Amino acid sequence: MRSLREAWGRAYKALGAISGGLYQGLYGSEPESFPFRSIRRLIDASRWPEARLAPVQIGVRPQGLRYIGKHPELLVANWTHQANGLAHDENYWYSTQTFAISRIPRSVPLAEAKDDVVQSDYLVNASGETAKHAGALAYYQGYLYVPVEGHGWPGLPGDHAQIWVVDPTTFPKPKVVETILMEAGQKKAPWCAINSDASLLYTSDFIEREADPLTANQIRIYRLWPWPHEPGPGGARLKRVGTLSLTTESGDPFPARQMQGGLITPNNHLLLVCDEPLGEAVSGMHLFDLVTGVRRWHTRWIDVDSTYPGYGLLHRAKRDEAQSVAVWSIEGFFVHTLFTVKTSSGPDGVMVLRWDTWNSWERDSL
């Protein structure tokens, strides 16, 4: 087993490490937001293969990530209409739509998921409010965490983003057991991801194209457990404990745009989906180091060979939206990336791209 000094010396050459402890300069002013709670997990996460440490090549599939097909090519069903998020527990897929949430049995292929889908009419919280936009969700300790935006709260200007905690055992009428505010000033909540080791929730604004590039790369970090019931206008509020600033491999601010979905991988890295249709450096799927915020790889869907009109090898139709990402690690190590396929007429469909890794070393480093 490599020592902590060896592991960090390889992964974070510019930062250095202190033998027997954590590098004190990292998260020094925000210790609650440090993403690891054990030295073992920190060492495991630092085991980046050399391919992941090499400069990112835009439009080139990262070594170790293999495209294995679409699942399905184009499915039109109730649960696919305005689909925004994808997550799972041991038995079910869960998909958020703009106003609702659906449950799909693990045993049912997504390509055939129609009659077996349990879909709520509307997602409603305990106050009787209907979700106006349910974003890309996360599963954690038996509950679904759904980012919701589009609500105004007393004493707060404009809309205010929230997290709705849903009990998945209450389908077909999923019960919202907790409604928690994000900090004042966060109006958008297109996605959330949860670091189960440290009980941290990550999220961001949507980030429009005209946003300031020096501030658009900020990922907000909130404390999840124990319940952060801090009094505030409108109800309980999540405790903001830090910020993760994303950078490119060269150290420049990551030009984040239209962030739609995110996931904390089994080794505590941030897998982020961006839907900037005109920016080659932004559109696609990115993997970031949770300690430094440095991007380790990026792919721009170059393997996609859809017969759907407007969906090409290197360019996507502007109305097709990359929405969410999920790692299905129960029946193999697959990365699923959900697209909402926007149609000019009729219902929307979905396309789920499926990826896997070449070998156990690459798999374990994700």
Has residue 326 got a pLDDT over 90?
no
Token pair 């300790």: residue: 141
**Which of the two residues, 150 and 262, has the higher pLDDT score?**
262
Average pLDDT in the 352-362 region? 57
- Full residue range of the structural domain in which residue 273 is found: 34-365
Domain total in the chain: 1
In a domain, 11, yes or no: no
Has residue 67 got a pLDDT over 90?
no
Has residue 76 got a pLDDT over 70?
no
In a domain, 146, yes or no: yes
Cβ atoms of residues 5 and 46 within 8 Å:
no
* pLDDT tens digits, one per residue of 13-27: 544 433 334 444 454
What is residue 256's predicted lDDT score, i.e. its pLDDT?
74
Residue 226 identity (one-letter amino acid) = P
In a domain, 65, yes or no: yes
Has residue 140 got a pLDDT over 70?
yes
Has residue 69 got a pLDDT over 50?
yes
Q: Beginning with the edge strand found earlier in the chain, give each strand of the sheet holding 138-140 in spatial order.
A: 138-140, 143-148, 162-167, 175-181
**Which of the two residues, 325 and 303, has the higher pLDDT score?**
325
Cβ atoms of residues 128 and 182 within 8 Å:
no
Q: How far is CA 232 from the centre of its chain?
A: 27
In a domain, 87, yes or no: yes
In a domain, 267, yes or no: yes
What is residue 188's predicted lDDT score, i.e. its pLDDT?
77
Average pLDDT in the 37-49 region? 75
Against a cut of 0.75, is the pTM above it? yes
CATH number at residue 83: 2.120.10
In a domain, 24, yes or no: no
Q: In whole angstroms, what is the distance from residue 72 CA to residue 113 CA?
A: 10
Is the backbone peptide bond immediately before 147 cis, with ω within 30 degrees of 0? no
In a domain, 10, yes or no: no
Cβ atoms of residues 153 and 181 within 8 Å:
yes
In a domain, 1, yes or no: no
In degrees, rounded to 5, the angle at the alpha carbon of residue 230 between the alpha carbons of residues 153 and 205 is 55
